[in-house]
Each structure stands twice: as structure tokens, then as C-alpha cells.
Amino acid sequence: MLFSSNYNFAQSGLTYPIVDTDQTAFFGNVTSISEPVAGAAFYGQDAQHAGYQPSYTDNGDGTVTDNVTGLMWQQSLDHNGDGEIDYADKLIYAEILALPGTVTTGGYTDWRVPTIKEQYSLILFSGRDISGYNGTTTDGLIPFIDDDVFAFNYGDLDAGERLIDVQCASTNVYVGSSIGEMVFGVNFADGRIKGYGTTVMGQDKLFNYLLVRGDTDYGVNNFTGNGDGPLPMPPPD
């Protein structure tokens, strides 16, 4: 079902609407293909299901409201207010966790560090993965976030970063890693969602971040046991 961009999802009664991926291309096993018809190979893939189309409102105060999830976000990765989005805007993970209660973007004081599910809701998979890109210009690159609404920039080459260094931290941490604490984050430069070590070569890693406010139940799991026991384990190989 298609929804118009002015549909108010926040008032629809949906507590966990999932934003569409914004994927519009079609793929075969190796390369992109034209749209497959019903009954043909590769029919029914992501681009043929519109879902809840990405829709945002620029509130004009440094914040953006996601009209699908109802969540409000900081608009810019420029956190020090110098008009540039660069290495100087990043913080180590402990500093990011300490931000709630100290940030007043848009006049609000209830900002929080997002969960990985909240942050993932901003990803647009119409972006271009730059993992293998060795150039230095960002002309023609497409991030995995709506940069018509959000103020975004790639990694700071002048500070020794790579263009791909746009890892945004969440509150979710994986502590079972042999390399130490890992923070789950979203990279809006390449579309990856993964765990990042909080230290690199013995130094604290710096992260980007976008704080969020609004529905604290967004993305919370809601499972009900059926009372019929666990699924049987498959036989060993």
C-alpha cells in the first residue's frame, strides 16, 4: 500500500512502523536487471514493495521529524556549531553516552542516544556503497541518509580519515568480543550496520552521532510464548 508523504504515521496508532528501504533498483544473481514481471525469475524483490515511504519534516530549529516513526532527530552532524562537519565534531563513546541532559537542540532537553533499531530507521538503501572507492571527491556519491533534510558529510580527509568514516554510535553494545567492547552503529557513508571497537590501536575511537527524542518504545521487542516449547535443534552436520 502506498502512502502520501503527508500521511501522519505518528497519529495512526502504529507504535513500530518500519520505514521503507527506498530501494528502487532490481537485481539478478550478478548484475542489475529491469523490473521482473509476476512469475518471472527474481520477481517480488524489495523494489516492488513500496511500504511506508521515507518522509521527513524539517522543523526549522535544528531538528527533523520522521513522519513514519514519529521520532525527532538532531538535523546535523555539525555538533560544535562551527559550520563544518568534520573530525572535530566527533566524540569518544563515553562522551556520547554522557550527552543526554546536556543537549538543548531545538529547545528540547530530553535527547537520548538512539538504539540501533532507532538509528537503523534512518537508513535509505538507495545510497551508493563507497567501500571500494579510492577517490577524494564526493561528487556523485550518494549517502545512506536523506541529505536533502539532514546535514551530512563524509569522513574528514584533511584529518587523516577516510571518506567512509561516518560511523554513528548507538546504545547497543556487544561485550562478548575477543577484541573488547564493541558498539553497534550505522555508517551512513556505506550503509553498514555493524559492531565497532571503542578503541583502535590502543586509542579511543571517535564516533559520529545523531541524538533522538520521542517514542521510547520504538523498536522494543514484543514476543509472546506459545507454550509449546522451543524449536527442535537441527541434527549436527
Q: What percent of the chain has pLDDT over 70?
A: 89
User: So what's the pLDDT on residue 15?
Assistant: 64
pLDDT value of residue 235:
64
Q: Which of 4-8, 13-17, 24-28, 67-71 has the lowest mean pLDDT?
A: 4-8
Between 76 and 222, the more confident residue is 76
Q: Is residue 142 included in any domain, yes or no?
A: yes
pLDDT of amino acid 202? 85
- The tens digit of pLDDT for each residue in 98-109 reads 999 999 999 999
In the predicted structure, residue 62 carries a pLDDT above the cut 90 = yes
Q: What is the pLDDT of residue 174?
A: 87
- Closest by alpha carbon to 188, among 121, 106, 98? 121
Residue 5, domain member (yes or no): no
Q: Is residue 111 part of a domain?
A: yes
Mean per-residue pLDDT, 58-76: 97
Name the residue range of residue 121's domain: 75-216
pLDDT at 20 over 80: yes
What does the pLDDT look like over 95-137, one tens digit per residue?
Answer: 999 999 999 999 999 999 999 999 999 999 999 999 888 899 9
**Rounded Cα gap, residues 43 and 144, in angstroms:** 25
In this structure, is residue 20 part of a structural domain?
A: no
Domain count, the chain: 1
Q: What whole-number percentage of the chain has pLDDT above 90? A: 69
Question: Residue 204: inside a domain, yes or no?
Answer: yes
Q: What is the pLDDT of residue 14?
A: 54
- Flag whether 225 is in a domain: no
CB-CB contact of 5 with 68 (8 Å): no
Tell me, what's the pLDDT at 2? Answer: 33
Q: In what order do the strands lie in the sheet with 167-174?
A: 167-174, 182-187, 193-197
Strand order in the sheet with 72-74: 56-58, 63-66, 72-74, 212-213
Q: How far apart are CA 96 and CA 207, in angstroms?
A: 8
Count Cα atoms within 13 angstroms, Cβ side, for 217: 6
Whether residue 93 lies inside any domain: the answer is yes
Write out the chain in H/E/C secondary structure: CCCCCCCCHHHCCCCCCCECCCCCCEECCCCEECCCCCCCCCCCCHHHCCCECCCEEECCCCEEEECCCCCEEECECCCCCCCCCCHHHCEEHHHHHCCCCCCCHHHCCCCECCCHHHHHCCCCCCCCCCCCCCCCCCCCCCCCCCCCCCECCCCCHHHCCCCCCCEEEEEEEECCCCCCCEEEEEECCCCCEEEEECEECCEECEEECCCEECCCCCCCCCCCCCCCCCCCCCCCC
In a domain? residue 150: yes
Which one is predicted more confidently, 141 or 235? 141
pLDDT of residue 5: 41
